[in-house]
Amino acid sequence: MLKIVKKHLKEVKSFYSENDLKIEEFRIKYNGKKGVLNKLFKSFRDVPEKEKKEFGKVLNELKKEINNKILNLQNKLIKKVSSVNNDLSKPGFPYKLGSFHPLSIVENKILDIFSKIGFIISEGPEIEDDWHNFTALNLPEFHPARDMQDTFFVQTNPDILLRTHTSSVQVRYMEENNPPLRIVSPGRVYRNEAISARAHCLFHQVEGLYIDRKVSFADLKQTLIYFAESLFGKSKIRLRPSYFPFTEPSAEVDIYWGLDNEIDHKITKGTGWLEIMGCGMVDPNVLKNCNIDPDEFSGYAFGMGIERIAMLLYQIDDIRVFYENDIRFLDQFKSI
């Protein structure tokens, strides 16, 4: 019995570590509830009478040695850690700085441009109901224009779907607020499309809406010129008549990009013009659906794809790079 205690004593004396885990391991082994020390104290009564005195002496020595050892090593560790962490004059760790995703950069630019002229940001849910995504926007059930937006439905309930455009937010905002209204609504949208260089089943849009008394098409056009100039530095735009169920009249907006070099020719398909968004005067039916009197109020709306704009701004020819999160691609947007 005595031999065992002496063996532990030797082991304890020679133990040394600066590793916090090893020190804790040592503490548990010797000082833990089921540790060596407790076991030895328990075995004291089995020690033959004549050895008891010597056994007790060495055991107490072992106990002292263990406690001192743990205290010393722990103190050493604390000193070491605090000397590393508390020196405020030391240079910081060279953490690599991250950067915004190009889609966030473009979204922020768009929102900034509109917030300068009084638009506020309003967001809505990505899981929508039929009313806000379609019906209230003058797209009743069986309307053929629903086909333009291949929809993902949630489970088997045809009333619940992943929104196909952020136009749904204008409905929500008009239902909750009285004119004058001026909002931009950024967010994710979903369409059941095959993924390719030009299309993705998930992408991002910014929707804009302005409702007040006597809002005219001229107001819309002036806002679009301001936007094109602010974002692209190009103010030549044209409005091509188009069709959207929620606006009447509707138009597609092209900006004149130029034909200065080979890339210009490529991205504008030799025309010099690029389509950037859809727009129009809010259809009176939509106003009525949102409890706004079309005889008193009018307004315009527009909607654009953030990916499309980012691809134009940064000359990217494959939409998929936005979702791959390849660090070599993202790193290029550090200084923007």
* Chain residues in the site for ligand DAH (CB under 6 A): 165, 167, 207, 244, 247, 278-280, 301-303
Q: Which of 215, 228, 227 is nearest to 281 (CA)?
A: 215
Q: Which is nearer to ligand DAH, 69 or 308 (CB)?
A: 308
Helices (H) and strands (E) in the chain, counts: 13, 9
- Torsional sign, CA 12, 17, 23, 26: negative
Give min distance, CB of 260 to ligand DAH, in A: 29
How far is it, in rounded angstroms, from Cα 302 to Cα 83? 60
How far is it, in rounded angstroms, from Cα 117 to Cα 112? 9
Q: Which is nearer to ligand DAH, 145 or 313 (CB)?
A: 145
Give min distance, CB of 253 to ligand DAH, in A: 9
Q: Which is nearer to ligand DAH, 121 or 336 (CB)?
A: 121
Give min distance, CB of 329 to ligand DAH, in A: 26
Q: Which is nearer to ligand DAH, 300 or 322 (CB)?
A: 300
CA dihedral 18, 19, 21, 22 (to 10 degrees): -60
Q: Which is nearer to ligand DAH, 302 or 322 (CB)?
A: 302
Q: Which is nearer to ligand DAH, 66 or 174 (CB)?
A: 174
Give min distance, CB of 225 to ligand DAH, in A: 17
CA dihedral 110, 113, 119, 122 (to 10 degrees): 20
Helices 52-85, 2-14: inter-axial angle, 10-degree rounding: 20
Q: Which is nearer to ligand DAH, 12 or 280 (CB)?
A: 280
How far is it, in rounded angstroms, from Cα 212 to Cα 259? 39
Give min distance, CB of 252 to ligand DAH, in A: 8
How far is it, in rounded angstroms, from Cα 276 to Cα 242? 13
Q: Which of 130, 213, 206, 138 is nearest to 178 (CA)?
A: 213
E strand or H helix at 28: helix 20-31
Exposed/middle/buried for residue 205 (C-beta within 10 Å: 0-12, 13-18, 19+): buried
Give min distance, CB of 91 to ligand DAH, in A: 50
Give min distance, CB of 108 to ligand DAH, in A: 20
Cβ-contact 254, 273 below 8 angstroms: yes
Q: Which is nearer to ligand DAH, 59 or 205 (CB)?
A: 205
DSSP 3-state of 37: helix
Residue nearest to ligand DAH (CB): 303
Exposed/middle/buried for residue 260 (C-beta within 10 Å: 0-12, 13-18, 19+): exposed
Structure token digits, residue 109: 């630019």
Q: Which is nearer to ligand DAH, 12 or 279 (CB)?
A: 279
Give min distance, CB of 99 to ligand DAH, in A: 28
